[in-house]
Amino acid sequence: MNCPLIFPVRPARWLTCLAVFSSFVLTSSAQELPVKEHTLSNGMKILLVKREGDPTIAAGWVAHVGSANERPGITGIAHLFEHMMFKGTPTIGTKDGKKDAEIMVEQERVRDLMRAEEAKVRAAWRRGDIDDPAKYDNMTPRWRELEADFKKLIQAQRDVLVKNEFDRLYSGQGASGMNAFTTEDLTGYFIVVPANKLELWCWMESERLLRPVFREFYAERDVVFEERRMRVESTPLGKFAESFNSMVWESHPYGWPVIGWPSDIPAISKKDADEFYALYYQPQNLTAILVGSFETDAAIAMAEKYLGRIPRGAQPAPDVITLEVKQLTEKRMYAEAETNPQVDIVWHTVPFRHKDSYALQVLSQLLSGRTGRLYKGLVVGSKVATEAYGQQQSQKWAGIFNVGGEAAEGKTPEEVETGLYAELEKLKTEEVPDMELQKVKNQFAAAEYRKLSGNMPILYQLIFNEGRGSWLEINEAGKKLQAVTAADVKRVASTYLTKENRTVAIYTRKAGTKVDEDADLTGLEPQQKPVVKQFMNAMATVKDVAQLEAQKAQFESRLKSANDKTKPFVTIMLKKLQARIDELKAGK
| DSSP secondary structure, 37-94, as one string | EEE-TTS-EEEEEE--S-SEEEEEEEES--GGG--TTSTTHHHHHHHHTTS--SSSSB
Q: Tell me how far apart the alpha carbons of residues 279 and 439 are, in angstroms, rounded to a whole number.
A: 46
Residue 239 inside a domain? The answer is no
Q: What is the pLDDT of residue 452?
A: 61
Is residue 265 domain-resident?
Answer: no
Closest alpha carbon to 347 in 414, 395, 392:
392
What's the length of the chain?
A: 588
| Residue 532, domain member (yes or no) | no
CA distance 345 to 402: 6
Tell me whether residue 329 is in a domain: no
| 382-393 confidence digits (pLDDT tens) | 999 999 999 999
Question: Contact at 8 Å (CB) between 204 and 198?
Answer: no
d(CA 220, CA 420): 43
Residue at 168: amino acid letter: R
Domain that holds residue 127: 94-161
Residue 123 inside a domain? The answer is: yes
What pLDDT is attached to residue 14?
Answer: 33
| Structure confidence by residue, pLDDT tens digits, 501-513 | 999 999 999 887 7
Q: Please give the C-alpha separations between residue 362 and each of 387, 427, 563, in angstroms, as whole numbers.
A: 20, 12, 20
In a domain, residue 247? The reply is no
CA 520 to chain CA mean position, Å:
25
Structural element, H or E, at residue 569: helix 567-585
Is residue 120 assigned to a domain? yes
Contact yes or no for 350/468 (Cβ under 8 A): no
Predicted pLDDT at 137: 94
Is residue 473 within a helix (H) or strand (E), and if so which, with residue range? helix 473-482
pLDDT computed for residue 555 by the predictor: 74
Q: Strands, E, within 528-588: which ranges?
A: none
Nearest partner of 216 among 100, 300, 99, 375, judged by Cα: 100
Number of domains in the chain: 1
Q: What pLDDT shows up at residue 17?
A: 39
Residue type, 106: E
Predicted local distance difference test score (pLDDT) of residue 54: 86
Here the contacts of 318-326 (C-beta below 8 Å, separation 24 or greater) are 318/69, 318/279, 320/68, 320/69, 320/253, 320/396, 320/397, 322/251, 322/252, 322/253, 323/251, 323/252, 323/398, 324/249, 324/250, 324/251, 324/252, 324/254, 324/348, 324/398, 325/250, 325/251
Q: What is the pLDDT of residue 561?
A: 56
Q: What three-state secondary structure class fits 155? A: helix
Residue 331 main-chain phi, psi, to 5 deg: -120, 140
Q: What is the pLDDT of residue 4?
A: 38
Q: Mean pLDDT of residues grouped by 10 in the chain (588 residues)?
A: 39 37 40 92 97 93 97 95 92 94 94 95 96 94 96 94 93 93 96 97 97 90 83 81 95 96 91 94 98 97 98 93 96 93 97 98 93 95 94 96 95 97 97 96 78 82 95 94 97 98 95 67 70 71 65 67 69 81 65
Residue type, position 410, single letter: G
Which neighbouring-strand residues pair with 506?
Answer: 334, 343
Q: How far is CA 146 from CA 136, 138, 143, 362, 463, in A?
A: 13, 15, 5, 58, 43
In a domain, 148, yes or no: yes
